[in-house]
Amino acid sequence: MFAEIITIGDELLIGQVVDTNSAWIGCELNNIGIEVLRITSVRDRGNEIIESIDNAMKRADIVLMTGGLGPTKDDITKQVLCDYFQTKLVFDDSVYKNIKRILGNRVPMNKLNKSQAMVPENCIVINNRVGTASVSWFERNGKILVSMPGVPQEMKTVMGEEILPRFKTRFIADIILHKTFLVKNYSESVLAETLEQWEESLPEFVKLAYLPSLGIVRLRLTARGHCQTTLQKELDEQSLALNKILKENLINDDASLEEQIGKKLRSLNLTLSIAESCTGGNASARITTIPGCSEYFKGAIIAYHNNIKIALLDVPKAVLDVYGAVSEETVIAMAKGAMKRLNTDCSISISGIAGPDGGTETKPVGTIWIASAYKNEIRTMKQEINRGRGMNIERAVNNAFLSLLEML
Amino acid sequence: MFAEIITIGDELLIGQVVDTNSAWIGCELNNIGIEVLRITSVRDRGNEIIESIDNAMKRADIVLMTGGLGPTKDDITKQVLCDYFQTKLVFDDSVYKNIKRILGNRVPMNKLNKSQAMVPENCIVINNRVGTASVSWFERNGKILVSMPGVPQEMKTVMGEEILPRFKTRFIADIILHKTFLVKNYSESVLAETLEQWEESLPEFVKLAYLPSLGIVRLRLTARGHCQTTLQKELDEQSLALNKILKENLINDDASLEEQIGKKLRSLNLTLSIAESCTGGNASARITTIPGCSEYFKGAIIAYHNNIKIALLDVPKAVLDVYGAVSEETVIAMAKGAMKRLNTDCSISISGIAGPDGGTETKPVGTIWIASAYKNEIRTMKQEINRGRGMNIERAVNNAFLSLLEML
């Protein structure tokens, strides 16, 4: 079973908006054994949208579209679908009622909102619980096309509640199992060489993929077939083999580092605090992406200015004067200060020069010190790669999380 | 001048990685008057890559590709390009030297890295200053195809330093000018209705686009033509017209809210601190995306746990007991506490229930209180929409930034 995704909107092509819908849809379809062949982003032009639909319908069994369903002038998807499927727009009372419900008292019903109650005839119309744009589901010659709103939260809601359940019951698809690992201390090419022989010995129905991240390589084994038990057994055996090759450098968990930290802290009944300087809140923001993190995460101090490091993290002024803010001594003091001031069992601290400016001869841009502390133990590391402000920050947070995980 | 973008890699189609390259490329090309017609993401399969190239070369003058240039097995782009352009891979000494330089002492040169020194014959090879994968630039029948690495930082570096300058000198393209505005207090549909008459009166060469965000609508006017002066004059006049219609709801700045805050604080010589609870570091992380923010941002306290609100932000225990952590009284105390403890002129504070759990009858999920303080003035607002944890947090940060901007 093959699918294609078409995302519509000038804003995608001029780069004002990053298309995050496609990756989310791809991931969800993959989980139920539907493979995405291609993702196409097109402009708000009728003929270009029609050409993309036509090509996708030739190659794939399912075409999922997002965007172009809003109330404004450039939202032309419904009319284009009518042209393509030779039908017309008709008024739908249940969609109209849904629009009224969604707008509530906040927004008056105007003619543009009313136009959203016009839907293509000869298709299944599915209401959108969290927005005013409805979903159109077409079936022609054994193929399915579904047009969904482009607002990510609305797309995810209708897809999760309405579209995926229908796909699941309709299609007896292949079973696809994934197992993902994190690998520390290896570059992608050295890892590929180390694993070459093992990779070649994998059976035909198991595939290995490399997904490089910052300071870490993500490996994914995918098994595909009809028998869940066989697939699972093979993945388990290959995981064992991989563990033998990579030993302590392999993390047998496909969860994100922040999820792993959450699980670990929860199971050990420990609390965490963070002291950040150059990462400016990114470590805390990632920890708090996990719902329920308030059970183990007490808070953080973003000590951008040195005075804050002194006043709120008890970093001795002498340490800053002698070693500087970007030093092993400072991150040790910050980690201790965070544990004490926020009264936690563990902490992470980060201080460095994220760039683009602020580097010196001895401490060039990209120099970032990291400490992780657990009770009386403190580990430190120095990161020394400059790949630009954003990537330096992301890598530092990854390294701090890895370092804490190792200690726990 | 039209371009298409092709991004290559299974990881894009199974949703393990979001394609951020295309938006960045789209934005850069747009700035120099090259319009992106289509973005296609394809799997690591030779025939599918070739089909996409072939179609793109028919429609566009320029095709930009990213991905599939790494050292591992699934990296097949170079071979595919050789097949398509009927040429072969040859060893390139300058690329080999560059690979050695990049790997330095950190990573040993192995046969996989060495294979990256094999490049297509009959194309211009451009070295990658920040990575091991080189760029191939093909010209055939007046059309250009450029294959670049998929690692975003590497792509951005080669594109910015090598590819865009060549495009700029080669093509006398249309001039495209944009002006972007932020609009407060309007939903997209009410705004569209308000602006309908004005929009219809716009000259042919000026286009209006709506880019909805959370708690704010972004409007973009685009003027396209050959004469910079005419275009600029028209944009200026239409901006004036828009200001007359939307008055104080229009923000005449196309910079992000965090950039605008930075500019404002810098020009007024003021300092900022932040006290965050449910947003967990996201407000600070956004403030610190701006290089040089250390001039005005002193730091933040992420007070996830109530004890931290008391200990580090001086929120009276009685306030928490009587009104709760999610209350106007608490965010006022947090904002005051941040200003005092971090010794700043202004502050922002946020406390709420981001979800998915933690809601009550009187304070459902999505209830978020926000305060902004400037010297003796404090403004508060209550956000009451639940669109899921991530969107609730993003909207709260937007609202806090807007509120601070209004005060300054």
In the prediction, which pLDDT does A399 show? 93
Structural domain B2-170, CATH architecture = 3-Layer(aba) Sandwich (3.40)
Which of A25, A38, A192 is nearest residue B72 as measured by Cβ atoms? A192
Q: Average pLDDT in the A123-150 region?
A: 95
> Which residue out of B13, B74, B179, B344 would a mutagenesis test of the A interface target, given it has the greatest number of A Cβ atoms within 10 Å?
B13
Neighbours of B405 (CB within 10 A): 18
- B312 has a chain A CB within 8 A of its CB: yes
All residues of chain B having their beta carbon less than 8 Å from the beta carbon of residue A308 are 298-299, 342
Domain ranges of chain A: 2-170, 175-251, 257-407
Model confidence at A177: pLDDT above 90? no
Which of B38, B280, B307 is nearest residue A42 as measured by Cβ atoms? B38
Contact A15 B38 (CB under 8 A): no
Is the ipTM above a cut-off of 0.90? Answer: no
Query: Residues A347-371: pLDDT tens digits?
Result: 999 999 998 888 998 999 999 999 9
> Chain B 91-130, CB below 8 Å of chain A: which residues?
106-108, 110-113, 130
> Which residue out of A13, A129, A315, A339 would a mutagenesis test of the B interface target, given it has the greatest number of B Cβ atoms within 10 Å?
A13
In the prediction, which pLDDT does A55 show? 96
Q: Average pLDDT in the B124-136 region?
A: 94
Q: Average pLDDT in the A147-152 region?
A: 93
- Overall size of chain B counted in residues: 408
In the prediction, which pLDDT does A207 show? 86
Contact B20 A25 (CB under 8 A): no
Least confident piece of the model among A70-74, B392-396, B398-402: A70-74
For residues B344 and A107, which has the higher predicted lDDT (pLDDT)? B344
> Which residue out of B21, B22, B32, B41 would a mutagenesis test of the A interface target, given it has the greatest number of A Cβ atoms within 10 Å?
B41
Q: Average pLDDT in the B170-192 region?
A: 83
Contact B73 A357 (CB under 8 A): no
A175-251: in CATH 1.10.1760.20: no
In the prediction, which pLDDT does B81 show? 97
From 2.60.40.1180, 3.40.50.720, 3.90.950.20, 3.30.2130.10, which CATH number describes the A257-407 domain? 3.90.950.20
> Chain B 332-391, CB below 8 Å of chain A: which residues?
341-343, 355-357, 387-391
- B282 has a chain A CB within 8 A of its CB: yes
Distance of CA B117 to the CA centre of its chain: 33
> Which residue out of A4, A36, A41 would a mutagenesis test of the B interface target, given it has the greatest number of B Cβ atoms within 10 Å?
A41
- A11 has a chain B CB within 8 A of its CB: yes
Chain B CA closest to residue A287: B280
Query: Residues A206-263: pLDDT tens digits?
Result: 988 877 666 788 888 989 888 999 999 999 999 999 999 999 899 877 688 999 999 9
In the prediction, which pLDDT does B385 show? 82
3-state SS, chain B, equals: CEEEEEEECHHHHCCCCCCCHHHHHHHHHHHCCCEEEEEEEECCCHHHHHHHHHHHHHHCCEEEEECCCCCCCCCCHHHHHHHHCCCCEEECHHHHHHHHHHHCCCCCCCHHHHHCCEEECCCEEECCCCCCCCEEEEEECCEEEEEECCCHHHHHHHHHHHHHHHHHHHCCCCEEEEEEEEECCCCHHHHHHHHHHHHHCCCCCEEEEEEECCCCEEEEEEEEECCHHHHHHHHHHHHHHHHHHHHHHEECCCCCHHHHHHHHHHHHCCCEEEEECCCCCHHHHHHCCCCCHHHCEEEEEEECCHHHHHHHHCCCHHHHHHHCCCCHHHHHHHHHHHHHHCCCCEEEEEEECCCCCCCCCCCCCCEEEEEEEECCEEEEEEEECCCCHHHHHHHHHHHHHHHHHHHC
d(CA B89, CA B91): 7
Percentage of residues in chain A with pLDDT exceeding 70? 98
- DSSP annotation of A130: T
Q: Average pLDDT in the B166-189 region?
A: 83
Contact B220 A280 (CB under 8 A): no
Model confidence at B313: pLDDT above 90? yes
d(CA A147, CA B20): 23
For residues A174 and B165, which has the higher predicted lDDT (pLDDT)? B165
All residues of chain A having their beta carbon less than 8 Å from the beta carbon of residue B14 are 26-27, 30, 36
